[in-house]
């Protein structure tokens, strides 16, 4: 199972022993107060600090209230009612001095038997519990009341007052300010008869309390349109309306529905309203989502919507159930897993919807069967009071829900569809975290499965996602300017699921200069409003600039800009982790690759320009370091891939020899290096120096000549000076080797050809030297403004006038001593004349 459940609070484990111990210590006389009937134990609230409030029935049907602190694993008895009460809601302030409770005064059966039933069904009390003292009646009404103390967002803030919210099913919310006075160890309510009350909002029909953020979301009608509002409570600033946004779904006025304020599973049937299954979820990264269960078009379908308010669009999902028994289908359960929203229909499906990157469906999990289970949670009585936590209201147990890393890796290995694979890769690299250990495990999967991925490149996914994770850990502002995926779009269908996307209005933040979640949400909204497809760094401009610079290199034009690119590359290589593989197994960084150095420096420069353009608040020095780190880490990842490939196929401390034929393992490594080259070329990313030499060395050993030349001609293999020099030195001039050398030499770039041609004692090599000699002379002549000589000194045997002119010019140049710089080539004008004459007669057929 992909989701792992672990018990955070288990009444049997965490409360049972304490109840038994207290009952034994106090004796039978007190057993009814601290009874041990665990079957009646129910969880009624979870406060912001994690404290859990629960109730249980004593031996004489007394209703007891207790508190469990997970941090200390201790229990505390708060209060006891000498009646069997149906508890609706309960909350304790952060100092644990005041207790607010709301309960039904009697059950339906009891009211039917009473001669004089109570005037009101629901009673709301405020109780002093430190020590147990006065009781204040806050409400005595027929409608249900939920109570909730407001906790300071900053735990260090000490307030002399407590703030209590009353949420009424009469569709209003009220705040009560409670001031206390201390007398020794006692805490008492100050002026209890005249508590300050303030009506916060009226005419609402849905409310949700966000325990961690201390915010109250509610839905009310505004100008005939349902609108979502949010109020932020402050310890020292009272409260403020902080968010307003119209909803893209029409909701009927069906009576108040409260979320995270109602922990009861079995309610009085007279008080139950028609269900409105809608929830708001926030995340630490500034994501804000609304989930709503919609009415499906047919009984065989389930329809729900998720509005990604921070992105400005909503998605409506329609799922065709594998089993058409609609009698089993109940309301969906929405769970907040922070990075994901879980949509759970036990026995049918589990969907994990990516809240941070919701635009591409391939980064969502759509699970059925065994993967769509959360251990033994098969009930619809689930609640998500805190992030990544689930309350089973039937048992009172609270569980933490997390994605199991090992199960996710196994899911990746077992998946056959590209959608499942992409979802798993994204979750592993960007949610669980791209550590070196995890990257190594993913690389092992890539080595085995890259060839079976048809709609995406897993190597590209690894590189981009890992870089995004590593860089955004340092600065969260980079998440909008660095790509998290190489995919531009995804249009593959997922069987059984139809998704429709709608553009919605972005929320309006009513308060400026917010902190915490609201600051991150504001940043996300600003990015959505100013969305520009060019905000994320891409390789188009980089590719154009690279081609231009390489063109300059062919003409040997050295510019200041080119030199600055090479300086950037030096910074990258100096900051690159010293890649000391075991016994130097992978022979990288053994040479200077001019083209890769140029591309490395160019990528740094392009990144600097991109970041400066979009992150104007970041200083130049920091931007320079970010750009160098990004490119350095990309090279580091490629080295990590190569190391794992080398280990898997046991190549050991590999030494390139042209005389030996390659093994089967070397051929497999060659193919994987082709995949790495294809992935990086597609994104115009640099490779570590030495990669091309290693690649073509494997190609020479493993490929037949025609295949080798085909790979070179199509740009898969790149000829390097080091490889060609080794080839010319090691191989003798047999017919087979001569054919290989000739084929390689005629394909060499001119800059490399000038250096290596003299190593081979062969007419073709001599011809190459002569060509280079003439070119160098002509360049020098153009600089010296050499005046051409007359033809009087030409040999009478040569009748090809252009050749006569060339030989005359060369002889004059040589006589002036201009060729000392090329004396090592053992070439003179007469030799050039003979070679030129020979080739001329062959061309003319003489």
Tell me the two tokens of residue 721. Answer: 């000076």
Do 584 and 691 lie in one domain? The reply is yes
User: Whole-angstrom distance between the N-terminal and C-terminal Cα of the chain?
Assistant: 83
Q: Is 9 part of any domain?
A: no
Whether residue 30 is contained in a domain is answered as: no
Portion of the chain with pLDDT greater than 90, in percent: 38
In a domain, 375, yes or no: no
> Span 701-728, mean pLDDT?
88
Q: Residue 574's domain spans which residues?
A: 557-760
Whether residue 731 sits in one domain with residue 829: no
16-30, 132-146, 773-787, 813-827: range with lowest mean pLDDT = 813-827
Give the length of the chain: 846
The tokens describing 684, both together, are 């115009």
| 736, 775: one domain | no
Across the chain, mean pLDDT equals: 81
Between CA 334 and CA 387 the distance in angstroms is: 12
Same domain membership, residue 629 and residue 751: yes
Based on the domain organization, do 706 and 778 belong to the same domain? no
Q: What is the pLDDT of residues 396-449, one digit of tens each?
A: 889 999 999 999 999 999 999 999 999 999 999 999 987 889 999 999 999 999
Distance between CA atoms of residues 590 and 466, nearest Å = 26
712 and 800 co-located in one domain = no
Beta-strand pair 278-282/288-294: antiparallel
Instruction: Please state whether the peptide bond connecting residue 320 to the residue before it is cis, i.e. omega within 30 degrees of 0.
Output: no
Helices and strands, number each (H, E), in the chain: 20, 32
Evaluate the CA torsion angle 248, 250, 253, 258 in order and state its sign: negative
Contacts of 319 (CB under 8 A, 6+ apart): 301, 302, 303, 349, 496, 497
Confidence tier at 821 by pLDDT (50, 70, 90): very low
Q: Within a domain: residue 248?
A: no
CA distance 717 to 713: 8
Query: Do 609 and 671 reside in the same domain of the chain?
Result: yes
Residue 392 scores a pLDDT above 60: yes
Distance CA 416, CA 407 (A): 16
Q: Which whole number is the average pLDDT over 591-614? A: 88
Distance CA 691, CA 676 (A): 10
What integer pLDDT is reported at residue 33 of this predicted model?
A: 47
10 Å CB burial of residue 408 (0-12, 13-18, 19+) is: buried
* Nearest C-alpha neighbor of 615 from the set 507, 526, 521, 516: 526
**Is residue 588 in some structural domain?**
yes
Clarify whether residues 591 and 643 are in a common domain: yes
Last residue of a domain, which of 760, 795, 830?
A: 760
Question: Is residue 663 one of the residues assigned to a domain?
Answer: yes
Cβ atoms within 10 A of the Cβ of 673, count? 23
Range 98-115 average pLDDT: 69
Vertex 825, ends 805 and 757: CA angle to 5°? 100
pTM given for the model: 0.83
604 with 568: CB under 8 angstroms?
yes
Beta strands in 260-385 (DSSP E): 278-282, 288-294, 301-308, 313-320, 333-336, 340-345, 349-354, 365-368, 382-383
The label of the residue with tokens 């209590």 reads 164
Under DSSP, the state recorded for 97 is: -
724 and 604 part of one domain:
yes
Looking from the CA of 466 toward its CB, the CA atoms found within 13 Å total 26
Asked whether residue 701 falls in the same domain as residue 752, the answer is yes
Q: Tell me, yes or no, whether 791 and 689 share the same domain.
A: no
Domain count, the chain: 2
What are the angstrom distances between the C-alpha of 5 and each of 399, 607, 693?
A: 6, 42, 50
Domain boundary residue, one of 760, 787, 813: 760
DSSP 8-class letter at 49: T
Q: What per-residue confidence (pLDDT) applies to 271?
A: 43
Of 705, 738, 760, the last residue of a domain is 760
Q: Are residues 661 and 680 in the same domain?
A: yes
Question: Is 372 within a domain?
Answer: no
Query: Does a structural domain hold residue 188?
Result: no
CB 537 within 8 A of CB 610: yes
| Mean of pLDDT values over 634-639 | 93
Task: Determine the pLDDT at residue 35.
Answer: 46
Asked if residue 41 has pLDDT above 70, the reply is yes
Q: How far apart are CA 399 and CA 386, in angstroms?
A: 10
């Amino acid at each position: 199972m992909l989701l792992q459940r672990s018990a955070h609070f288990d009444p049997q484990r965490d409360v049972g022993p304490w109840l038994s111990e207290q009952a034994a210590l106090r004796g039978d006389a007190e057993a009814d107060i601290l009874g041990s009937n665990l079957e009646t134990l129910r969880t009624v609230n979870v406060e912001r600090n994690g404290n859990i409030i629960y109730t249980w029935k004593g031996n004489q049907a007394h209703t007891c209230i207790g508190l469990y602190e997970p941090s200390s694993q201790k229990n505390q008895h708060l209060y006891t009612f000498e009646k069997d009460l149906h508890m609706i809601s309960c909350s304790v302030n952060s100092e644990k001095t005041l207790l607010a409770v709301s309960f039904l005064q009697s059950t339906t059966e009891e009211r039917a038997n009473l001669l004089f039933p109570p005037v009101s069904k629901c009673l709301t009390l405020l109780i002093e519990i430190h020590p147990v003292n006065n009781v204040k009646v806050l409400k005595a009404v027929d409608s249900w009341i939920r109570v909730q103390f407001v906790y300071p967002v900053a735990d260090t803030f000490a307030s002399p007052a407590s703030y209590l919210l009353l949420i009424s099913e009469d569709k209003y919310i009220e705040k009560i300010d409670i001031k206390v006075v201390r007398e020794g160890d006692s805490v008492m309510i100050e002026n209890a008869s005249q508590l300050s009350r303030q009506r916060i909002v009226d005419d609402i029909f849905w409310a949700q309390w966000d325990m961690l953020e201390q915010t109250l979301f509610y839905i009310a009608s505004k100008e005939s349109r349902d609108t979502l509002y949010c109020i932020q409570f402050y310890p020292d600033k009272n409260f403020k309306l902080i968010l307003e946004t119209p909803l893209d779904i029409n909701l009927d006025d069906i009576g108040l529905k409260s979320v995270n304020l109602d922990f009861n599973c079995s309610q009085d049937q007279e008080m139950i309203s028609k269900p409105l299954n809608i929830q708001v979820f926030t995340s630490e990264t500034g994501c804000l989502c609304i989930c709503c269960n919609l009415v499906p078009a047919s009984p065989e379908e389930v329809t729900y919507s998720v509005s990604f308010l921070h992105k400005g669009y909503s998605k409506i999902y329609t799922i065709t159930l594998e089993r058409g028994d609609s009698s089993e289908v109940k309301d969906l359960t929405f769970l907040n897993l922070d990075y994901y929203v879980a949509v759970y229909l036990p026995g049918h499906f589990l969907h994990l919807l990516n809240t941070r990157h919701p635009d591409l469906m391939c980064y969502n999990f759509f699970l059925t069967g065994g993967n769509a289970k959360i251990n033994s949670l098969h009930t619809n009585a689930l609640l998500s009071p805190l992030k990544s936590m689930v309350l089973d209201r039937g048992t009172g147990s609270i569980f933490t829900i997390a994605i199991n890393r090992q199960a996710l890796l196994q899911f990746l290995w077992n998946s056959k569809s590209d959608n499942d694979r992409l979802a798993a890769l994204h979750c592993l690299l960007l949610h669980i975290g791209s550590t070196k250990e995890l990257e190594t495990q993913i690389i092992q999967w890539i080595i085995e499965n890259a060839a079976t991925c048809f709609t995406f490149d897993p190597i590209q996914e690894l590189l981009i996602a890992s870089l995004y994770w590593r860089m955004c850990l340092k600065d969260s502002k980079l998440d909008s300017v660095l790509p998290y995926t190489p995919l531009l779009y995804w249009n593959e269908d997922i069987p059984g699921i139809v998704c429709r996307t709608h553009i919605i209005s972005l929320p309006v933040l009513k308060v400026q200069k917010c902190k915490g979640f609201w600051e991150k949400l504001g940043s996300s909204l600003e990015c959505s409003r100013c969305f520009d497809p060019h905000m994320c760094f891409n390789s188009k401009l980089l590719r154009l600039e690279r081609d231009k610079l390489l063109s300059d290199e062919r003409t040997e034009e050295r510019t200041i800009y080119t030199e600055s690119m090479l300086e950037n590359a030096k910074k990258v290589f100096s900051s690159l982790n010293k890649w000391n593989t075991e016994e130097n197994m992978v022979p990288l960084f053994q040479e200077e690759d001019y083209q890769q150095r140029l591309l490395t420096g160019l990528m740094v420069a392009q990144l600097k320009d991109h970041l400066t353009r979009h992150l104007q608040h970041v200083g130049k020095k920091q931007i320079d370091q970010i750009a160098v780190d990004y490119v350095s880490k990309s090279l580091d990842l490629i080295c990590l891939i190569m190391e794992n490939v080398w280990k898997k196929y046991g190549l050991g401390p590999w030494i390139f020899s042209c005389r030996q034929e390659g093994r089967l393992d070397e051929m497999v490594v060659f193919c994987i290096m082709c995949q790495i080259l294809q992935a990086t070329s597609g994104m115009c990313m640099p490779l570590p120096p030495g990669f091309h030499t290693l690649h073509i060395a494997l190609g020479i050993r493993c490929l037949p000549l025609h295949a080798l030349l085909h790979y070179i001609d199509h740009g898969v293999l790149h000829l390097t000076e080091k490889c060609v020099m080794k080839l010319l030195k090691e191989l003798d001039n047999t017919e087979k080797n001569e054919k290989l050398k000739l084929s390689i030499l005629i394909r060499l770039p001119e800059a490399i050809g000038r250096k290596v041609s003299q190593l081979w004692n062969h007419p073709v090599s001599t011809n190459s030297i002569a060509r280079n000699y003439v070119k160098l002379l002509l360049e020098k002549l153009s600089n010296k403004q050499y005046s051409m000589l007359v033809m009087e000194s030409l040999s009478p045997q040569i009748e090809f006038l252009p050749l006569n002119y060339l030989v005359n010019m060369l002889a004059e140049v040589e006589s002036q001593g201009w060729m000392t710089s090329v004396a090592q080539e053992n070439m003179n004008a007469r030799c050039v004349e003979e070679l030129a004459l020979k080739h001329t007669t062959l061309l003319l057929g003489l």
